[in-house]
Each structure stands twice: as structure tokens, then as C-alpha cells.
């Protein structure tokens, strides 16, 4: 029986700037997103019954039509005009859910990549990108992954060239904490809406400032990183206790290159020059992380997004 495995890596935000509000109700963003090697795996098999069936090793995760993997599969079938296509999909979940790490979005991107091959559809990367944008704002990034400047809702991608050095990441998340993305953007609008930019010219000036700014230069050249900006962090940190306490733990570490929240949270991360330093920081914080109930992971930057294994 034909079987394919696809890796779906998580992402962190090295920059998340809310520029303004768009006509479609979404926020216009300027971001730098980075894939990391904390990875879900999808195992795909064709089935002849025209059904998409999803199973997952993490209890409680919805596996019905509300799961983005199933939505991705159904969208591919519609675009191909082939309702008879079926697949059995097994999701091995490693990325924490509802964490600001784009786990669900990356799973959807991996489903697009894998099923396109499994079903022999031969959709081009551009066609897959357009389907990804239909599924969610972070899904387009998760296809190529690596380090990308992301504009628009998040779907307009510009790869960072040359690629940035492979930094190490100490990621922490409180298992009981979750932040609703619409809530975070809603709060941002309440608090900062009056100073939002408007109009394409103003947006483009900020995009250009990001392209030419200290962060992108440091990532390209490998120099010291400036403090990272995440506009949603300013909204979430005062209201979510574990984000507040987790950031203070990470900020106390001596060797971090930078500390920030990812996406709309509640995942938090510190960046380090190498894996050894990240592991040392994890060991140094072990007692406090355990006391406050944080889960933690040490991982590294990854150069690519959703990808076939082997």
C-alpha cells in the first residue's frame, strides 16, 4: 500500500507588527516568521471510498471537518474536480495546540503538499499557495517555511536571502494557557486602533522599514539581534499570567540573544547562539519552570517548511 509521510514544522515570530485594518476585516501585518524543528508528522494513505478520515495520537484534538487538515484535503478535491479521491491521514501531534506556533496551519500545509503527491494532482507551488491562503493566514508561510518576511494578512511572502544563521530556541508554554487569536487581535484594535496606519502607501513604508531595518540586517549578516517586536505581546502580556511570568523567567537568563512571545501566544521563546547554550538555559531554569508548571522544548531554526520525509 502506498504511504507517504510529511513533516509539518512549527514557526515562531521574530517580528509581528500590526500596521492597520484591511477592507476584509483582517489586520494588515508586517512579520518575520521562522520555522523551527518542533515537528508534527502526517502519514497519508490513499483510500478508494472518496472519504477523508483523520486520526490523531493526541486525545481531544478534533478530527472532523473542523480540522484544517480535513479542510485542506477537501479543498484539493474541489480544485481538482475529483470528489472520488479519498485518504486515511494519521497525525502524530508534537506541536502544542493553540500556542501561537502555527501547528494547525502547518498540518494543513503538509496535507496540501502530501496529498498533491499522493493523488498525483501536480498542482504548482503557486496553486498550492492560493489554496493555503484560503485555509488561513499562516498556512501560506508554512509551505516554503524557513525565514520569510510576511505581509498582507500573512500570505505575501518574501524569503530572507541569504538565509539567517541556525540559531537555537528555548521554547516554553504553560499547558493550561491558551490565547484566542481573534481575541488578541480584537484587544489590539481596541487599544491601538486609533493609531493604526491606513492606506497602501503608509503600509509600504513600514514594509520597507522592516526590509531595511536592524532585525533583517542582523539575520542576514549574523550580527547582534535588536529587541524583537511583537505588537500582540503588548496586549497579551498584561492579561495572561503565564505569559507575564514566563517572559520574566526568560528575560533573567544571561545568554539570550532575544526573548519574545510567538504570534498571539501563549508560547514564549528565547534565542541562543547554539543548542548547548539553549540546553544550559533550560537546565538553569528547570526548577522554576517545574514550579510554575511550564513545559519546555529546545529546538533549532529550520530552513524549510512542510516537506516529504525520505
3-state secondary structure of 149: strand
Residues with catalytic function: 11, 138
Instruction: Mark 6-35 with x for binding to ligand C5P (rule: CB under 6 A) and - for no binding.
Output: --------------------xx-x------
Q: Which is nearer to ligand C5P, 25 or 60 (CB)?
A: 25
Nearer to ligand C5P by Cβ, of 9 and 154: the residue is 154
Q: In angstroms, give the least distance from the CB of 100 to ligand C5P.
A: 11
86-92 and 27-47 beta bridge pairing? antiparallel
Q: Exposed e or buried b for every residue in 124-150, given b needs 16+ CB within 10 A?
A: eeeebbebbbebbbbbbbbbbbbbbbb
Please, which of residues 176-215 interact with ligand C5P by CB under 6 A?
181-182, 185
Shortest Å, Cβ 297 to ligand C5P: 22
Q: Of 63 and 181, which has the nearer Cβ to ligand C5P?
A: 181
The DSSP string of 227-257 is PPEEHHHHHHTTT-HHHHHHHHHHHT-SS-S
Q: Which helix (H) or strand (E) holds 133?
A: helix 125-135
Residue pair 48/1 in contact by the 8 Å Cβ criterion? no
Q: Which residue is nearest to ligand C5P (CB)?
A: 137
User: According to CB under 6 A, which residues from 84 to 143 bind ligand C5P?
Assistant: 136-138
Judged by CB, which is closer to ligand C5P: 153, or 211? 153
Task: Compute φ and ψ for 213, nearest 5 degrees.
Answer: -80, 180
Minimum Å gap between C-beta 309 and ligand C5P is 26
CA dihedral 153, 156, 162, 166 (to 10 degrees): 40
How many residues bind ligand C5P (CB under 6 A)? The answer is: 11
Element (H, E) at 60: none
Q: How far is the CB of 3 from ligand C5P (least distance, A)?
A: 30
Closest to ligand C5P by CB, 191 vs 217, is: 191
CA distance 292 to 281: 16
Q: Write out the residues near ligand C5P by the rule CB under 6 A.
A: 26-27, 29, 136-138, 153-154, 181-182, 185
Amino acid at each position: 500500500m502506498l504511504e507517504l509521510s510529511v513533516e509539518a514544522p512549527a514557526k515562531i515570530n521574530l517580528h509581528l507588527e500590526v500596521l492597520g485594518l484591511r477592507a476584509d476585516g483582517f489586520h494588515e501585518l508586517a512579520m518575520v516568521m521562522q520555522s523551527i524543528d518542533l515537528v508534527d508528522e502526517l502519514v497519508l494513505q490513499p483510500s478508494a471510498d472518496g472519504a477523508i478520515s483523520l486520526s490523531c495520537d493526541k486525545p481531544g484534538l478534533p478530527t472532523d471537518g473542523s480540522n484544517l487538515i480535513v479542510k485542506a484535503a477537501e479543498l484539493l478535491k474541489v480544485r481538482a474536480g475529483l470528489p472520488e479521491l479519498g485518504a486515511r491521514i494519521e497525525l502524530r501531534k508534537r506541536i502544542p495546540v493553540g500556542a501561537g506556533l502555527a501547528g494547525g496551519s502547518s498540518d494543513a500545509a503538509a496535507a496540501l503538499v502530501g496529498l498533491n503527491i499522493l493523488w498525483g494532482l501536480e498542482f504548482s507551488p503557486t496553486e498550492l499557495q492560493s489554496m493555503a491562503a484560503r485555509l488561513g493566514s499562516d498556512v501560506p508561510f508554512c509551505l516554503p517555511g524557513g525565514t520569510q518576511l510576511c505581509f498582507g494578512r500573512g500570505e505575501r511572502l518574501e524569503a530572507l536571502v541569504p538565509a539567517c544563521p541556525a540559531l537555537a530556541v528555548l521554547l516554553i508554554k504553560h499547558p493550561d494557557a491558551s490565547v484566542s487569536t481573534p481575541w488578541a487581535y480584537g484587544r489590539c484594535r481596541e487599544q491601538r486602533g486609533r493609531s493604526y496606519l491606513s492606506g497602501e502607501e503608509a503600509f509600504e513604508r513600514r514594509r520597507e522599514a522592516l526590509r531595511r531595518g536592524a532585525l533583517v540586517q542582523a539575520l542576514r549578516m549574523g550580527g547582534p539581534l535588536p529587541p524583537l517586536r511583537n505588537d500582540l505581546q503588548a496586549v497579551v502580556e498584561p492579561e495572561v499570567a503565564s505569559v507575564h511570568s514566563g517572559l520574566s523567567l526568560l528575560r533573567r537568563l544571561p545568554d539570550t540573544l532575544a526573548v519574545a512571545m510567538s504570534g498571539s501566544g501563549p508560547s514564549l521563546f528565547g534565542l541562543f547562539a547554539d543548542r548547548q547554550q539553549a540546553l544550559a538555559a533550560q537546565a538553569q531554569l528547570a526548577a522554576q519552570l517545574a514550579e510554575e508548571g511550564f513545559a519546555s522544548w529546545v529546538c533549532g531554526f529550520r530552513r524549510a517548511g512542510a516537506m516529504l520525509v525520505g
